Amino acid sequence: MGTDVNAITERIYEDVLRRNPAQPEFHQAVREVLDSLAVVLARHSEFAELKTVERICEPERQIIFRVPWQDDRGEVHINRGFRVEFNSALGPYKGGLRFHPSVNLGIVKFLGFEQTFKNALTGMPIGGGKGGADFDPKDRSDTEVMRFCQSFMTELYRHLGEYTDVAAGDIGVGGREIGFLFGQYKRITNRYESGVLTGKGVGWGGALVRTEATGYGAAFFASEMLKVRGDSLDGKTVAVSGAGNVAIYAIEKVEQLGGKAVTASDSSGYVVDERGIDLEVLKQVKEVERARISAYADRVPTARFVAGGSVWDVPCQVAIPSASQNELDSHAAVTLVRNGCQVVVEGANMPCTPEAVKVFQEAGVAFGPGKAANAGGVATSALEMQQNASRDRWTFEHTEARLEEIMREIHASCHATAEEYGAPGNLVLGANVAGFLRVAEAVHAHGLI
């Protein structure tokens, strides 16, 4: 039986490679899920008969479009926009938009694939999708970003809808961009369709806690992982990478839970502050001034800026990589283990390479995969949609309590599934299997579509 199911997953992987050439991030994401599914296929022969895994690996729809816009000097630029509507078995497609020069179809597909399982893990009625553009918002004026967002939405709007496809932020897309995107959608459609985008401003349909949700959720998830080990974040030294939405609020919640976050980074390097990151300064530098991370060290005497280099050289007990995919490789993992790191929680999507994950698992380091650990953002987006649909508005405390409860449930479900499928403590397997089963059961119920 074992050989058979492995042969099935191998054949599926070969097929994915052949049909999706030159998309290494998508291949990597599929490989990781397939590696977890042999145990499922061994128990459920119907998944092989009905080609359930193959269907879930194939996006329902892939949209690529031209985005022309003019900069402040009148120069014309052409970018490429994407929306991959991956799976709608559990609800409307739901997932963020990424604006970064590295964006291509393979990256959007990897993110949409991950999103499908992540959204299933939240237990909310949302399918999986992702989008973005190879636009670099860095050093662009507000008016340039607005013109880009308007041009982008002028094509994207026809694919979105609160019951069809609901977009949100990701790297390079924060509150400012969501505002411009929503404004253009409203203008074109002549509809105040609040539920079509999440991460809106709290004054016009946004939910309290959505800004903080992914980072807070990752910290709650770390807390749950430590609890299983009879421990807590209290007194722990924590290394965080990134200095964007996820990183800033992971640091904030770690500090509220008694931990000490000592690092932050961006693509220029990292800062280390042994006294604990001063959040007020970090928010001023990154959220208000949109400056480089070195500006933090210029203002905080206890901090030091390291140009380039690896933030994972800084000794810590808990690591929360929160910048981008494949930012933590096996070399960094070995360094973390050598320095006594006990828990790694992915705040970003797939920030650890497969080799790094292997190093952690072999060393007995508890590892929380992104599709579970960073699901707090999308879960709170679903809470935003719920408030929009009922024309209601929840308090910060109520929404945060819901977020904490959802993160606890996601952790419990991954933990229990890992045990049930013979891999206690393996949250990668637990998350993949629990997420897959929810999607697969709905896919079957809908017939061959």
Q: Is 5 or 29 the residue whose CB approaches ligand NDP more closely?
A: 29
322 or 353: whose CB is closer to ligand NDP? 322
Q: Name the catalytic one among 94, 109, 118, 130.
A: 130
The identity of residue 138, as a single letter, is K
Could you tell me which residues come within 8 angstroms of residue 252 by beta carbon, excluding any fewer than 6 positions away? 212, 215, 216, 279
User: Could you list the residues that contact ligand NDP (CB under 6 A)?
Assistant: 169-172, 174, 214, 242-247, 266-268, 322-324, 327, 347-349, 374, 377
Q: How many CA atoms lie within 13 A of 112 on its CB side?
A: 32
Dihedral, CA of residue 422, residue 423, residue 427 and residue 430, to nearest 10: -20
How far apart (Å, rounded) are the C-alpha atoms in residues 279 and 113?
Answer: 33
The answer to whether the beta carbons of residues 112 and 59 sit under 8 Å apart is: yes
Q: Distance (Å, rounded) from C-alpha 60 to C-alpha 293?
A: 40
Closest contact distance (angstroms) between CB of 407 and ligand NDP is 13
Nearer to ligand NDP, 47 or 86 (CB): 86
- CB of 242: closest distance to ligand NDP in angstroms? 4
CB 89 within 8 A of CB 127: yes
CB of 325 to ligand NDP, least distance (A): 6
How far apart, in Å, are the Cα atoms of 108 and each of 98, 119, 150?
A: 8, 16, 20
**CB of residue 418 to ligand NDP, shortest distance in Å:** 22
Which residue sits closest to ligand NDP, CB atoms considered? 244
Q: Are 399 and 384 in contact (CB under 8 A)?
A: no
Q: 52 or 263: whose CB is closer to ligand NDP?
A: 263
How many Cα atoms occupy the beta-carbon half-sphere of 246 within 13 Å? 31
130 among known catalytic residues: yes
Nearer to ligand NDP, 40 or 178 (CB): 178
Q: What is the closest distance, in whole angstroms, from the C-beta atom of residue 65 to ligand NDP in the complex?
A: 21
Q: How far is CA 417 from CA 48, 424, 438, in A?
A: 20, 8, 12
**Residues with catalytic annotation?**
130
